[in-house]
């Protein structure tokens, strides 16, 4: 009797959260149904029900001729390049946190932390607005170069395909570095005091303490974040590249997310675009589980 009332009570608890689970089902799981568009010959005004089923035609079309292969390869190359730079410099927030906590002047340290986390809280549109005001041909940087007589004609910082991966990396770093350091700062605060004591007793210098005490303690955090970053290798996001794209940098800035958007919303090729979206999601999940498995194997615990 009692266990039955407990069971009904536990089901009632589920009923309370069910409306929210329904929302999740609609907005996170139902879009998976949208993948069927990849198997139909869908052109916007005609409804899906009236469209022709074409099987894997669109997947084949991605690699049907050299031009398309080249285009897709360039997009994948860009995605790899930009994500690769991010991973290559993934230790930056850790170093940032380590040296920030080395600053003894409390006010200065707090000021630096406050100021460097600020860019994380503005949108990419705002970042682009700042970038445009600074680096366009009539911007402050060119104004400064002109006033000081360093250049005669304005430099086209934004409208050039040169170093786009690096500038994209630089803006992303500018935006997120201070914020990403917070997790490491938390980890540094958690280091056992006695480890430091032991190091002083042995006469360790500051750099030695960093190398032998602080860095090793950071490794678990670094490893988890690195794994997550690798798992989301293909997901650069759309906004940053969308706002920074222009006729000049289009070839080198198009990452998968932007390519998918441009194909569908710019070119109306929904079906092809959904096909790429689908491949990308599947590969991402495979990556996530591989990285999770790798983490379990190496450290005995998963990241997800």
Report the nearest approach of other proteins to the CB of residue 7 (Å): 8
Report the nearest approach of other proteins to the CB of residue 80 (Å): 19
Query: What is the spatial distance between Cα 4 and Cα 60, in angstroms, rounded to a whole number?
Result: 56
Q: Which is nearer to other proteins, 16 or 66 (CB)?
A: 16
Q: Which is nearer to other proteins, 165 or 241 (CB)?
A: 241
Report the nearest approach of other proteins to the CB of residue 23 (Å): 5
Report the nearest approach of other proteins to the CB of residue 66 (Å): 25
Report the nearest approach of other proteins to the CB of residue 77 (Å): 20
Query: What is the spatial distance between Cα 165 and Cα 252, in angstroms, rounded to a whole number?
Result: 7
- Which of 131, 135, 137, 138 has the alpha carbon at shortest distance from 174? 131
Q: Rg of the Cα trace of the chain?
A: 25
List Cα–Cα distances, 6 to 1, 19, 21, in angstroms.
9, 22, 22
Q: Which is nearer to other proteins, 85 or 183 (CB)?
A: 183
Q: Which is nearer to other proteins, 28 or 66 (CB)?
A: 28
Report the nearest approach of other proteins to the CB of residue 85 (Å): 18
Query: What is the spatial distance between Cα 256 and Cα 124, in angstroms, rounded to a whole number?
Result: 18
Phi-psi region of 163 (alpha: psi -120 to 50; beta: other; left: phi over 0): left
Instruction: Kindly state the DSSP code that residue 43 receives in the 8-state scheme.
Output: -
Q: Which is nearer to other proteins, 12 or 66 (CB)?
A: 12
Query: What is the spatial distance between Cα 180 and Cα 183, in angstroms, rounded to a whole number?
Result: 6
- Which of 170, 9, 182, 173 has the alpha carbon at shortest distance from 94? 182
CB 75 within 8 A of CB 62: no
Tell me whether strands 40-41 and 52-53 are parallel, antiparallel or unpaired. Answer: antiparallel
- Which of 155, 175, 146 has the alpha carbon at shortest distance from 243? 175
Q: Which is nearer to other proteins, 1 or 189 (CB)?
A: 189
CB 222 within 8 A of CB 91: yes
Report the nearest approach of other proteins to the CB of residue 216 (Å): 15
Query: What is the spatial distance between Cα 257 and Cα 237, in angstroms, rounded to a whole number?
Result: 6
Q: Which is nearer to other proteins, 29 or 66 (CB)?
A: 29
Report the nearest approach of other proteins to the CB of residue 117 (Å): 7
Q: Which is nearer to other proteins, 66 or 153 (CB)?
A: 153
């Amino acid at each position: 009797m009692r266990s039955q009332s407990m069971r009904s009570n536990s089901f009632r608890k589920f009923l309370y959260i069910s409306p929210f689970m329904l929302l999740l089902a609609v907005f996170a799981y139902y879009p998976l149904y949208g993948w069927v568009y990849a198997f139909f010959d869908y052109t916007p005004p005609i409804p899906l029900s009236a469209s022709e089923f074409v099987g894997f035609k669109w997947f084949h079309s991605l690699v049907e001729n050299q031009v398309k292969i080249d285009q897709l390869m360039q997009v994948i190359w860009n995605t790899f390049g930009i994500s690769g730079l991010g991973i290559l410099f993934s230790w930056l927030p850790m170093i940032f946190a380590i040296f920030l906590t080395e600053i003894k002047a409390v006010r200065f340290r707090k000021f630096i932390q406050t100021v460097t986390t600020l860019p994380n809280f503005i949108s990419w549109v705002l970042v682009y607005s700042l970038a445009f005001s600074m680096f366009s041909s009539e911007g402050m940087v060119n104004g400064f170069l002109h006033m000081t007589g360093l250049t005669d004609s304005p430099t086209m910082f934004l409208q050039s395909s040169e170093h786009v991966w690096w500038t994209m990396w630089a803006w992303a770093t500018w935006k997120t570095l201070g914020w990403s350091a917070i997790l490491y700062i938390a980890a540094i605060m958690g280091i056992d005091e006695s480890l430091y004591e032991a190091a002083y007793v042995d006469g360790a210098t500051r750099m030695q303490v960093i190398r032998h005490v602080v860095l090793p303690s950071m490794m678990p955090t670094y490893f988890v974040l690195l794994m997550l970053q690798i798992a989301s290798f293909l997901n650069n996001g759309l906004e940053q590249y969308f706002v920074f794209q222009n006729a000049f940098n289009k070839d080198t800035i198009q990452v998968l997310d932007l390519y998918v958007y441009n194909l569908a919303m710019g070119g109306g090729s929904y079906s092809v675009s959904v096909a790429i979206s689908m491949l990308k999601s599947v590969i991402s999940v495979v990556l996530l589980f591989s990285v999770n498995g790798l983490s379990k194997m190496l450290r005995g615990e998963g990241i997800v």
